[in-house]
Structure 1
Amino acid sequence: MRSVFVFPAADRGGTVALLDQHLPGQRDPWTLDGNLYIDIDDEQNGHLFSDWDSDDVAVLEAAVGHNPRWAMQIDVSGRIDGTAEVHQLVALLLEHGGVALDDYSAHPWTLQEIQSETVIDGLRFFDFRTYRELHRED
């Protein structure tokens, strides 16, 4: 399972309402086509940042201007590529600002960077193919 954390600029209630509107009749988790599982993670009731490197948290804090207390966690089934679905969902969640982090880089990605396919340290957002090539053991 691959994961993406989205830190929307919108407040938590607005983000929940947005997901309820686009993925009606579900929650805890929301699912997209049975292949993306979307849930809220937070520091108080969840495990947000519990296994994160402190340097990665510091980079995130610098990008958003504060220590986020919650995030939308998107888990992507290994049964599918998931790139198009993740990009679609992240675009929805970051429509009003914020950043997303994937399993492959510590860079906090803005929606503009994601949509323009910006390359940072040799990777695009959710670029698992290139990451695997770069980290392949020969």
Structure 2
Amino acid sequence: MRSVFVYPHLDQVGTVAVLDALSPGQNAPWLVEGVLYCWLESEDEYLYQGWEPDGVEHLTVTIGHRPDWAIEIEVSGRVDGTEQLRRLVLTLLEHGGVVTDDYSDHAWTAGEIRSHARHEGLTFFDFRGSYNRLI
């Protein structure tokens, strides 16, 4: 599984309502577009488990505080999932916020995702570019 963490400016209730509308009758996880598995993660559970301290610090500085919840979205390795993920993330960031992915320490904004901005040579959720760096 490949994953991203979305830190929307929309509150938890509003974010859950968006996910409920996109995945009627199914939550924990929400299944969106048949390929995206979404969970509400809180800091007291697993939100920063496995994170490097520098990554948490960078996120905290970027947002202005350490978020105590996020939406984790996992994409199965059996599908590309890029377009579905972009649509969902842009929906969740409609009111602002950032998203982090498995491939960089950058906190991506909706504007950066829409414009295909690059950070250290990678775009948002650039698993192909990351893989190509390894070979």
Normalised TM-score (structure 1):
0.95
Residue of structure 2 in register with 1:17 after alignment: 17
Gaps of 5+ in 2: none
Tell me, in whole angstroms, the C-alpha distance in 1 between the residues paired with 2:30 and 2:8. Answer: 16
Cα drift, residue 14 of structure 1: 0.8
Cα drift, residue 33 of structure 1: 3.3
Residue of structure 2 in register with 1:41 after alignment: 41
Aligned residues, how many?
135
Structure-to-structure mapping, 1:1-138, within 5 angstroms:
1-44=1-44, 46-136=45-135
Tell me, in whole angstroms, the C-alpha distance in 2 between the residues paired with 1:89 and 1:56. Answer: 23
* Superimposed CA distance per residue, residues 1-32 of structure 1 (whole angstroms, 9 cap, x where no aligned partner): 10011000111111001111222111100002
Q: Which amino acid aligns with 1:81?
A: D
Moved over 3 A (4+): none
Q: Let me know the Cα RMSD of the aligned residues.
A: 0.8
* Superimposed CA distance per residue, residues 55-83 of structure 1 (whole angstroms, 9 cap, x where no aligned partner): 10011011111100011000001111010
Q: Which amino acid aligns with 2:77?
A: G
Normalised TM-score (structure 2):
0.97
* Superimposed CA distance per residue, residues 83-126 of structure 1 (whole angstroms, 9 cap, x where no aligned partner): 00110000010000000000000000000000100011000000
Tell me, in whole angstroms, the C-alpha distance in 2 between the residues paired with 1:47 and 1:26. Answer: 21
